[in-house]
């Protein structure tokens, strides 16, 4: 998250945490990206009276809803109210992740209402807040030029993971340096991508070149793909880092 977004998010979460503490009530939050989840977990860790549970509907979901609840309750009794829909194209044709997202956003709903979207050999699926089931069933009728029908899916969806494992060497863990290496370009080109808002770190646009990357971070680079830093394999004698990276293909 960029600094301004982080401040606003932190303030909102502090208010919700206070409500849980003073009312002993459960609070359900819309889908959060991975950066927001990490920030919320850190806040909850400092509050002995509140626990948090995350659920995204997919195994290893990246966008997940959060349930904040008093510590005298148990996570097993919580319901994050996540729905999984399968999209069936009526007739022939294929649909893509970007087409699905664009069509959903065309319904003028907030991105926080939607979780992960996945398209693989099993079909096309997306997660959403259960409160919006009636709206989606009535209004989400097409993706791109294709007419569709929706079917609710029970249980947690296991996705096919198609990744290419690569090793890269970076001189530092700065965001601009990591991006430069991943796109196999110059430092100036990486900074241009950052300035243009082409880089998402953990699903949030980040324009700060000096931001430090960490193991587990996900970088989405427009027209280049999505990358996850899996491991710092070693440090060379010259102080450079050998990173193991998963590139989603």
Question: Same structural domain for residues 101 and 115?
Answer: yes
From 109, 129, 160, give the residue that closes a domain. Answer: 160
> If we measure between CA atoms, which residue out of 178, 200, 236 comes closest to residue 111?
200
Q: pLDDT for 122-165, tens place per residue?
A: 889 999 999 999 999 999 999 989 999 999 998 888 776 667 89
**Facing residues of 69 across strands?**
51
Question: Same structural domain for residues 132 and 184?
Answer: no
Task: Specify if 10 maps to a domain.
Answer: no
* Interatomic CA distance for residues 206 and 194, integer angstroms: 7
pLDDT attached to residue 188? 92
Q: CA 210, 2, 203 angle in degrees (round to 5)? A: 100
Question: Same structural domain for residues 62 and 155?
Answer: yes
pLDDT band, very low/low/confident/very high, at 249 (cuts 50, 70, 90): low
pLDDT band, very low/low/confident/very high, at 216 (cuts 50, 70, 90): confident
pLDDT attached to residue 160? 67
pLDDT band, very low/low/confident/very high, at 184 (cuts 50, 70, 90): very high
From 141, 160, 179, give the residue that closes a domain. Answer: 160
* Interatomic CA distance for residues 84 and 55, integer angstroms: 12
Phi and psi at residue 188, to the nearest 5° = -65, -40
pLDDT attached to residue 7? 83
pLDDT band, very low/low/confident/very high, at 73 (cuts 50, 70, 90): very high
Q: What is the mean pLDDT of residues 25-34?
A: 93
From 145, 160, 175, give the residue that closes a domain. Answer: 160
Burial call 151-172: b when 16+ CB within 10 Å, e when fewer: eeeeeebeeeeeeeeeebebee
Task: Specify if 6 maps to a domain.
Answer: no
pLDDT band, very low/low/confident/very high, at 237 (cuts 50, 70, 90): very high
CATH number reported for the structural domain that contains residue 122 in this entry:
3.30.70.330
Q: Tell me how many domains the chain contains.
A: 2
pLDDT band, very low/low/confident/very high, at 244 (cuts 50, 70, 90): very high
Question: Same structural domain for residues 57 and 129?
Answer: yes
Q: pLDDT for 44-69, tens place per residue?
A: 999 999 999 999 999 888 899 999 99
- Comparing 207 with 203, which gets the higher pLDDT? 207
Tokens of 118: 């996945």
Q: How far is CA 36 from the centre of its chain?
A: 9
User: Containing domain of residue 121, as a range?
Assistant: 50-70+79-160
- pLDDT higher than threshold 60 for residue 4: no
Q: What is the mean pLDDT of residues 34-48?
A: 90
pLDDT attached to residue 35? 79
CATH number reported for the structural domain that contains residue 223 in this entry:
3.10.290.10
Task: Specify if 42 maps to a domain.
Answer: no
Question: Same structural domain for residues 105 and 175?
Answer: no
Task: Specify if 19 maps to a domain.
Answer: no
pLDDT attached to residue 42? 92
Task: Specify if 225 maps to a domain.
Answer: yes
Question: Same structural domain for residues 229 and 147?
Answer: no
């Amino acid at each position: 998250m960029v600094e301004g977004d982080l401040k606003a998010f932190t303030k909102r979460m502090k208010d919700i945490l206070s409500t849980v503490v003073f009312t002993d009530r459960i609070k359900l939050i819309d889908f959060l990206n991975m950066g927001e989840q990490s920030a919320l977990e850190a806040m909850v860790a400092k509050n002995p009276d509140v626990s948090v549970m995350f659920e995204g509907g997919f195994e290893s979901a990246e966008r997940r809803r959060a349930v904040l609840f008093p510590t005298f309750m148990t996570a097993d009794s919580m319901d994050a109210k996540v729905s999984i829909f399968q999209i069936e194209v009526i007739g022939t044709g294929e649909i893509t992740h970007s087409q699905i997202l664009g069509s959903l956003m065309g319904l003028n709903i907030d991105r926080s209402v939607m979780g992960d979207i996945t398209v693989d050999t099993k079909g096309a699926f997306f997660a959403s807040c259960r409160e919006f089931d009636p709206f989606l069933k009535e209004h989400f009728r097409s993706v791109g030029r294709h007419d569709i029908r929706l079917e609710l899916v029970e249980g947690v969806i296991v996705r096919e993971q198609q990744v290419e494992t690569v090793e890269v060497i970076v001189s530092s863990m700065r965001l601009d340096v990591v991006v430069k290496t991943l796109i196999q370009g110059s430092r100036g080109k990486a900074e241009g991508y950052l300035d243009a808002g082409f880089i998402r770190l953990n699903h949030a646009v980040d324009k700060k070149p000096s931001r430090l990357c960490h193991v587990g971070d996900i970088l989405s680079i427009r027209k280049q793909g999505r990358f996850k830093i899996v491991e710092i394999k070693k440090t060379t004698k010259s102080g450079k880092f050998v990173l193991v990276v998963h590139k989603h293909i």
